[in-house]
Each structure stands twice: as C-alpha cells, then as structure tokens.
C-alpha cells in the first residue's frame, strides 16, 4: 500500500479511522489472521463512496468487512485495504411494520429491535452471526427462515460507484446466494418488512431457537458458524460424521464433536490449521461419497487453492 494512497485516504477520513497493519484476528469470529496493510473505517456513506472511488482509481485491492463472521484471513495477512462497516450500525423504524437497518447492524440487534416493537418474522435470524449486509450476500437463513422472506429492498453501491436500490426480486435470492454474491456490489442498508405479533410469543420463539442453538452448536468456541453449504439432498454435518471425521484435528483447529458441520478454533489455532481441516474434510468426504463440499467461509489473503 503506497504512501500517496494512504495520505489521500487520510484526507477523506479522520486519522483515528485509518490503521496500518491491523491484526485481523481482532475482526474475525475465528479469532485468527495476520495484519491487513490498511484498515479503514468510513463514518458515513459519503466517506465510504470517496474511499472506494480512491481505491478503485489506484487499482488497489480491497475487501469490505462486516462482522468477519464468515471470513478466514491468512496468517500472512492481507496485502490490501480492509474497509470496515463498523460505523454503519443504525437500526430504525421505517413504518409500523418495517425496519431500516444499515449494513453493519448485527442480525441479533435487528431481531431485538423487532421484538421490542412487537414485530414477528425475524426471530430465525436472532442467532445468525454477522451483519445484515453479509446476510444479504448469502441469503442467510436458519430454522426454516431465510432473508428473502423478509427483505423488501436493499440499497447498494454498484461496481461503478453508483447508489442503487434493488427489490427483493432483483436480489435473486437462492440457497446461500444472491444476485450480488461474487460481484463488487456493497450493501448500504436493508428494508425489512415484518408483521405485527405478540411480544410474549416472539420472546418465547427467540428463546426456544437460542436454546436449540446452544444444545446443538459449539457456541463456546470461535468459529464461522456452519463451515460448509448444505449439499443437495444431504447434510454436510452428516457426511462429515459418516466419513469418520468427528473431532478430526490439525493443530488447534478441529471438526466439532458437538456438530460436525462446524470447524472450530479449539486451542489457539492458526488460519493454516483451520484451512487444513477444511481441505482435508472436503477431500475425505469426496473420496467417501463423491460429494464435494463447498465452503461458506471466504478466504482472504494467500492460501493454497483448495483442490477438488
């Protein structure tokens, strides 16, 4: 990252919102990862647009970060700019039944806001780690609920730097995918449409789902949630278990014994440890059942390519 670019970015955002060589283990739920060359946190949409414009003009590599809940950063770090949306967390009522949430707002915070306004339909997302921005990219879901069921519109920045509003249909939501996945669109905010409900019933449902998560998932360890997408006609966790990989360990990383669909940081794992577990699991399941598991986790930085 050259000094001229860094100085230009300092003219856009305040000094305290630019950090050089920031350790990414502080910003991922795996709690691993080396330093990003530049970590920058715009305070509003105007600054974000200017930062992105400058990075693109310089041809700089960059990654837009929410909560880091589906991200594995190389131990060597990332030789580029991480643009954090940590200042984009506002959640507000747009109408009696709709909520506007900025991209950096946690799904849990939105669920609590909906609960307090006696709005039902977002309970499924209360335990989904990460932000609503990331949830849009992946059409995040749990317990028979998906984002496509509650999203009315999504405001994004296009690859050309334009502000665009996409309808739910425009988003082309599918299983753990959307229109913007893999493209240089950046989510700014989401309009969620819910229905009026009874607060006691909403609290009860959220409590029930939270207990089910605690019972079945290794929430006591750092992880990125479900590590693999569900393969068609099967379940990743069952395939991994049946392949004899429950508890499979490399260094400090392992396949959770509680839920084989989770790769966890059990004991001061490195990103390389986690990556190796993911790679070995994919190879073993493929050898055993002819199914190539697809990671939900995004790899940032230098990793050996995971081969089929």
Helix (H, G, I), strand (E, B), or coil: what is residue 171?
A: coil
296 is catalytic: yes
- Distance of alpha carbon 70 from its chain centroid, rounded? 4
DSSP string, 113-154: HHHHTTEES-GGGTT--SBHHHHHHHT-EETTEEGGGTEEEE
Instruction: Give me the count of residues in the chain.
Output: 308
226 is catalytic: yes
Please answer whether residues 111 and 203 qualify as being in contact, where contact means their C-beta atoms are separated by less than 8 angstroms.
no
User: Closest Cα to residue 182, out of 217, 145, 138, 152?
Assistant: 138
Give me 186's structure tokens.
Answer: 């950046």
Catalytic residue among 31, 56, 117, 176: 176
The H or E element that residue 51 is part of is: helix 45-57
Residues 6+ apart with CB under 8 A from 167: 152, 153
Catalytic residue among 189, 226, 256, 271: 226
In the 8-state DSSP scheme, what is residue 36?
E
Give me 240's structure tokens.
Answer: 């991994």
Distance CA 246, CA 257 (A): 5
Give me 279's structure tokens.
Answer: 């790679």
257 is catalytic: no
Please give the positions annotated as active site.
176, 226, 296
């Amino acid at each position: 990252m050259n000094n001229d670019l860094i100085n230009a970015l300092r003219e856009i955002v305040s000094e305290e919102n630019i950090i050089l060589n920031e350790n990414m283990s502080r910003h991922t739920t795996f709690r691993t990862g080396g330093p990003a060359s530049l970590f920058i946190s715009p305070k509003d949409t105007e600054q974000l647009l200017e930062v992105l414009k400058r990075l693109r003009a310089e041809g700089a590599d960059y990654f837009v970060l929410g909560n880091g809940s589906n991200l594995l950063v190389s131990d060597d770090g990332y030789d580029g700019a991480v643009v954090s949306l940590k200042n984009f967390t506002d959640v507000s009522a747009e109408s009696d039944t709709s909520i506007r949430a900025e991209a950096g707002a946690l799904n849990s915070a939105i669920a609590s806001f909906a609960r307090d306004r006696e709005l039902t339909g977002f309970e499924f997302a209360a335990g989904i780690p990460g932000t609503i921005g990331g949830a849009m990219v992946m059409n995040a879901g749990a317990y028979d609920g998906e984002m496509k069921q509650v999203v009315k519109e999504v405001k994004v920045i296009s690859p050309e730097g334009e502000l665009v509003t996409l309808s739910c249909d425009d988003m082309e939501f599918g299983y753990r995918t959307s229109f913007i996945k893999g493209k240089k669109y950046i989510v700014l905010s989401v309009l969620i449409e819910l229905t009026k409900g009874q607060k006691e019933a909403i609290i009860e449902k959220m409590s029930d789902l939270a207990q089910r998560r605690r019972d079945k998932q290794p929430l006591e360890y750092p992880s990125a949630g479900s590590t693999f997408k569900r393969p068609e006609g099967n379940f990743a966790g069952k395939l991994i278990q049946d392949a004899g990989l429950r508890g499979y360990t490399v260094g400090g990383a392992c396949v959770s014994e509680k839920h084989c669909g989770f790769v966890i940081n059990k004991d001061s794992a490195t990103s390389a440890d986690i990556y190796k577990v993911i790679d070995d699991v994919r190879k073993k399941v493929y050898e055993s059942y002819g199914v190539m598991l697809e990671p939900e986790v995004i790899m940032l930085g230098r990793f050996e390519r995971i081969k089929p």
